[in-house]
Each structure stands twice: as structure tokens, then as C-alpha cells.
Structure 1
Amino acid sequence: MRIKDHWQYSDEVFEETFESFRLKPGMFSHEAHLRLAYIHIKKYGARQAEQNMCNQIKGYAESLGVYDKFNKTVTIASVKAMNHFMQKSNADNFKGFIQEFPRLLTHFKEILGQHYGFNVFADQRAKREFVEPDLLPFQ
């Protein structure tokens, strides 16, 4: 596993830095996104994590002047997928968790593709509102 810059922060500081829109844009990688979801699910539960992640990622993107990047469906689906794998995990931290389920890092689009029969990443409706899976519902 390649360690990214976001690892310079503890979970608490990483969460606070992101929430206050002070995280450097280059630090918000796919891995950092998954780590943030993991932190929120552990701390607030999956349902609240969905709301937190939507609010914070949208706000973060807008703070950078990027108004078309946020995708509500991908954000909520990411939390749902993370929660699914977290229920199966024996790890007590994100590093251990992602070592158990490395496909979340390497094949995330394929994982979501099991649920969606269309390109959820590019769909304009999916960007604005949560679209339920058309292939396989989240459990």
C-alpha cells in the first residue's frame, strides 16, 4: 500500500481539516475519500455518515471553485459500500481495513458497477440526487 500525504494527520485532525475546507486539494485522493468515509461511519453511523460526507464533499469542492465535480449518488453509494465491507471486517482501523479489502482502492468503479448498469460517475441526475441502484440494491 502506498501511503498518501493525508496520513500525516491523525483521524481526528484529518476529519477536522477536511470539514473546515483546509485540506490541500492534492491530498484528497480516492484513498483519502475512503478513509474519511471510514472515520464517519465509525464515529457517526452509516446514515449520518452519508449526510456528513455529502455536505462536506460538496462544500469542499465549492470552496475550491469546482461546482460540477460533486456526485451525490457516488458519495452515498461509497458510504454504503464502505459500510457493507466494514460489517465484514476484523480490522479496528482504516489501514487494517483497507489491507483486508484492497479492491476498494484498486477496483472501486467495478464495485459500484455491480450495482449500477449505467455510468453513475457521469450521469447528471446522479450528480444532483441519489439514484437507487438499478442492478443490485445495497444491503
Structure 2
Amino acid sequence: MNTIMNLEENELLKQVENYTLSPSLFNHENQLRLSWILINKYGLEVATLKNCKLKEQFFINALNSEKFNLPLTKAYTEILYYFMQKSSTKDFYKLLREFPRLKYNFKELVKTHYGHDILKKHRKEEINPLGTILFTF
């Protein structure tokens, strides 16, 4: 069985695009890594759009779920991008070690980004972040 670390970036992206990624591997770290891949490949704006489309289709086609959360998906991309700009590393796993809150306290980062808890329900509507992201706590 493949693990997240064993999948090459192109293979991970391909499996998400083709809905062949095992649902057990579609976890928080995987979703951060997908955002990382898309940001490095396309830049923030296009990565955000592609990430939203990819995840929405993956939820529908691979997970048979309507629990896709648009604001949360945007937050994955925007928050990760913020921390990528703060770091000099070009390695995803080094970034997670440098900023462990990405992996272990993401819910609080999202609350800070949006100013409230968007995780209470699965939303499809647009919710705008508060503006400049300040993760100084």
C-alpha cells in the first residue's frame, strides 16, 4: 500500500485527478501536500482554483460525499502559501517540521484566517478571510 510519503508529487496529483487515490490516504497531510504541489506548479491564484475543483470532484466521485467545504479548501491553499513565503525550504516535509501548526493545529489557523469556525458545517458559499493573515500567536 502506498503512503503519502511514498507517492511522488506527480503521482499524488494524478491519483486525485483520476479519483484513484485511496480514501484512507485523503487525509489532512495529503490535502496540505496537494496544496503544496499546486502552489509550486501554478502559483497561488490558479492553485486555489484548481485545488477547489479537484477536491470537490474527489469528494463527489471518489468519496461519494457532498461534504466538500469550499472555504476550508481555499484556506488550505492560502494558509499553506503564507507559511511557504515565510520559509526558505523547498521541501514539503521540512516545511511541516518548521511550522508544526500546519499539521497539528490547522483548525486554529483556519479560525484565525476567517475569524470564526468554518468547520461547523460543510459550506459551499464563499466566505472571505479577514484580510492579512497574522499568525503570530
**Residue deviations 1:39-89 (CA, integer Å, cap 9, x gap):** 10011001111111111101001012101x100001111111111100011
How many residues are matched? 131
Q: Which runs of 5+ in 1 are unaligned?
A: none
Letter in 2 for 1:80: E
1:137 aligns with 2:135: no
Hey, what's the Cα distance between the residues in 1 that align with 2:21 and 2:45?
24
Question: TM-score, normalised on structure 1?
Answer: 0.87
Question: TM-score, normalised on structure 2?
Answer: 0.89
Q: 1:44 aligns with which of 42, 45, 48?
A: 42
**Residue deviations 1:82-108 (CA, integer Å, cap 9, x gap):** 111000111111111111111100000
1:116 aligns with 2:109: no
Tell me the CA shift for residue 130 of structure 1: 2.1
Hey, what's the Cα distance between the residues in 2 that align with 1:114 and 1:48?
23
Q: Is the 8 A contact 2:16 2:58 kept in 1?
A: yes
Q: Percent identity?
A: 32
What residue number does 1:65 align with? 64
Q: 1:100 aligns with which of 98, 101, 126?
A: 98
**Residue deviations 1:95-130 (CA, integer Å, cap 9, x gap):** 111111111000001111113333201245xx1122
